[in-house]
Amino acid sequence: MWSRIGNSYGQGSGELAQQRLATYCADTDIDVIPMAFLYQITTGIDGQPVVNFANQQNNCITFPGTGLLNCPEIADDIVTCQLKYKKTIFLSVGGATYTEGGFSSRDVAKQAAEKIWATFGPKQDESTLRPFGSAVIDGFDIDFETTMNNAAPFANRLRELMDSDATKQYFLTAAPQCPYPDIADDEMLSGGTYFDAIFIQFYNNYCGVNSFVPGSAEQINFNFETWNNWARTVSANPDVKILLGVPANTGAAGTGYLPVSGLGPIIAYCKQFPSFAGVMMWDVSQATSTTNNIQAQGSSGETNMASDDARVQNNKDFQLNELFNVKNKVALITGGGSGIGLMYTQALAVNGAKVYICGRTGEKLDTVAKTYSQDIPGSIIPITADITSKQEIQKLYDELEKREGHLDILVNNAGIMSDKTITTEAQTPEEMKKNMFDDDKNSFQDWDDIYRTNVSQCYFMSTCFIPLLAKATQHTHGYSGTIINVSSISGQVKTSQHHPQYNASKAACIHLTRMLANEIAQNEIKIRVNTIAPGVFPSEMTAGSSGANQKSAIPKDKYENKVPAARPGNDRDMASTLLFCATNTYLNGQTITVDGGYTLAAGM
């Protein structure tokens, strides 16, 4: 789709009378046409949005009692463009005449997106006023030109609604000015919103096409390279495409118009960057006389993203930093201050995530945050909480909601083991009863304490944080919030290992994971739930203590002649497992066993 030329329809035809939309769709050199503009979102008469198409109304009439146009001719042309000419038709939102300044809250922004979707997306009911009748546009182009409040929640909700319709492929684009960063759209462009492409306006600014120096490998003002770097390092979509936005003639912009001959070297320069995908011209009525010449200048031949294969995979998707990317993810880890929990904390924070660790001992958490937060791209933030209390869990939820507004990764790692071992070996039934029932060390209270931490808290933490985890997909397109419960091979092996209460609790955790994954999926909520079952790893639980750095060393007798790998698990073993579970969005309801072969030897 982004392979050649896009033209804006309705932005202003100047001296040339604007023709019907279908007229421009017949041009074989044009792939994309954004229709401009939807310039009132929330302040229109009777709460209806307002579109203008630069006052080129094409036989539109206003719905009674509103400022919303009813445009049956454009509706017919949209269908013609899509079916006959295979064009992609967007609706541009904003523009120079947009003055609402955004939305008063995140919720208002989302409600506005839902209204726009009902008005221009798939028809939902008979009561909604729809300018294009049953015709459905192919996406939205965000073109805010003044500083906005809550722009990202608005755009992200549109993205979410588009993704919810499996019958059609939609696209979300933006049209920033070339100065980087773009002030008006920075909330979305700084990684907050997943865009398929952006149409950068390289005119009316110091960085426009008229600042390009032909023959120079290093461009001082013309900053396409800067935007290419943005695409690869900042954008929520690292494969986002960039179109070179230019005015179609001298009347289309204050400054920045270049004749086609002047665009040729610029297009050739831009083609060296993998994000370059074509040219966007404002406006279509002024551009039709020049598109053939632009094609001759070499803007064709780039990736066709609107093919039946949709977003074409490329080699970059297989790079490790893409496969296991947790940059800018927000995580919460219970018991994240020592042992296996600390391994998880480091794995995420070192790779760019913001990691909240919680536990009962604030001093220990503070030490961990101070010790392990040095010189890493992410961060570690301690929060004291008792996660065996529903009231404390709710307070923790409220704090995360206030600070972040969403949660990407929840790791229920906190767990305890009784220091009371139960002898299970016996020569007679009476001896077995004496060992496993009569012994005062084995009590209901002991079982209750272990289940409260190892099972109940996993349930209550998971269910409490469902609303925040469900918002992860709005924050990062294509990502689903994930719950990772930490069980143990003790919940899988057939022996009690002399602590039946602990083993039973870990088996319950494994089944709880599968049950929660099913219940959440049945409610069509985009959250994955999986379990990691570690084998013999150094922790306070297995080693009995930890050093000042909250790391532990495990005695040799814990793994010798028990683990085929002939060693205990280490930080890298657990970190790689956690990153796999956190990033593989096709993994759900599963238990990942990391044990060096322990269960092979012990039996399950």
Q: What is the CA radius of gyration of the chain?
A: 29
135, 243: one domain:
yes
Residue 311: its pLDDT value, please? Answer: 39
Question: Of 313, 339, 369, which residue sits at a domain end?
Answer: 313
Tokens of 278: 């074509």
On whether both 26 and 47 belong to a single domain, the answer is: yes
Q: What percent of the chain has pLDDT over 70?
A: 86
Q: Are residues 398 and 258 part of one domain?
A: no
- Report which secondary-structure segment, H or E, holds 116: helix 106-120
Specify the pTM.
0.55
Nearby residues of 390 by Cβ (< 8 Å), 6 or more positions away: 460, 464
pLDDT digits (tens, 9 = 90+) for 494-542: 888 888 999 999 999 999 999 999 999 999 899 999 999 999 888 766 5
Residue 435 lies in a domain: no
Token readout for 225 is: 């390279």
Residue with the larger pLDDT of the pair 566 and 108: 108
Q: Write down the pLDDT at residue 76.
A: 95
The DSSP output letter for 52 is -
For residue 26, give its domain range. 5-313
Specify whether the CB–CB gap between 91 and 142 falls below 8 A.
no
pLDDT exceeds cutoff 80 at 419: no
Contacts of residue 458, defined as CB under 8 A and 6 or more positions apart, other chains included, come to 412, 485, 509, 512, 513
- Fill in the DSSP letter of residue 490: G
Residue 274 lies in a domain: yes
Cα angle value 242/352/155 (rounded, 5°): 45
Between the CA atoms of 355, 361, 364 and 366, what dihedral angle is there, to the nearest 10 degrees?
A: 50
Nearest CA to 484 out of 381, 328, 332, 337 is that of 332
The CATH number assigned to the domain holding 273 equals 3.20.20.80
Question: Taking Cα atoms as reference points, which of 520, 540, 528, 298 lies closest to residue 410?
Answer: 528
Inform me whether the pLDDT recorded for 256 exceeds 80. yes
Q: Which residues of 550-563 are buried (b: 16+ CB within 10 A; e: fewer)?
A: bbbebeeeebeebb
Residue 207 lies in a domain: yes
Statement to judge: residues 293 and 379 lie in one domain: no
Domain-located, residue 438: no
Q: Express each pLDDT in 168-212 by its tens digit.
A: 899 999 999 999 999 999 999 998 899 999 999 999 999 999 999
Half-sphere exposure of 600 (CA within 13 A, CB side): 8
Confidence of residue 287 (pLDDT cuts 50, 70, 90): low
Q: Among 116-130, 218-232, 289-303, which stretch is predicted with the lowest mean pLDDT?
A: 289-303
Q: How far is CA 405 from CA 219, 385, 473, 516, 520, in A?
A: 40, 19, 12, 23, 20
| 8 A C-beta contact, residue 137 and residue 120 | yes
Answer whether residue 445 is part of any domain: no
State how beta strands 139-143 and 50-51 pair: unpaired
- Provide the domain count of the chain: 2
**14 pLDDT higher than 50:** no
Query: Are residues 336 and 280 part of one domain?
Result: no
Q: Residue 533 belongs to a domain with what CATH number?
A: 3.40.50.720
Catalytic one of 145, 160, 187, 404: 145
Kindly report the backbone phi and psi dihedral angles of residue 61, in degrees, each rounded to the nearest multiple of 5, phi listed first: -130, 160
Claim to verify: residue 291 and residue 329 sit in the same structural domain: no
**Do 196 and 220 fall within a single domain?**
yes
Q: Is residue 439 part of a domain?
A: no
Task: Mark whether 68 and 121 lie in a shared domain.
Answer: yes
* 307: pLDDT strictly greater than 50: no
Check pLDDT > 90 for residue 250. Answer: no
* 338 and 308 housed in the same domain: no
Distance, CA of 141 to CA of 89 (rounded, Å): 10
Separation of first and last alpha carbons in the chain: 53
- Last-in-domain residue among 288, 313, 338: 313
145 is catalytic: yes
Domain's final residue, options 313, 348, 371: 313
Q: Is 68 or 256 the better-scoring residue by pLDDT?
A: 68
Q: What is the pLDDT of residue 140?
A: 98
E strands along 110-181, which residues?
Answer: 139-143, 171-174
CB-CB contact of 81 with 22 (8 Å): yes
- Angle (CA) 361 365 368, round 5°: 145
Distance CA 416, CA 407 (A): 25
Which tokens hold the place of 458?
A: 């996993």
Helix axes 106-120, 151-164, angle to 10 degrees: 40
Residue 532 and residue 551 in one domain: yes
Rounded to whole angstroms, how far apart are CA atoms 289 and 257?
15
> Do residues 254 and 340 both lie within one domain?
no
Backbone torsion region of residue 405, taken as left when φ is above 0, otherwise alpha when ψ lies between -120 and 50, otherwise beta: left
Assigned token pair, 406: 């969403």
Confidence of residue 312 (pLDDT cuts 50, 70, 90): very low
Q: Tokens 């150094």 correspond to what residue?
A: 538
Residues 490 and 587 in one domain: yes
pLDDT value of position 128: 96
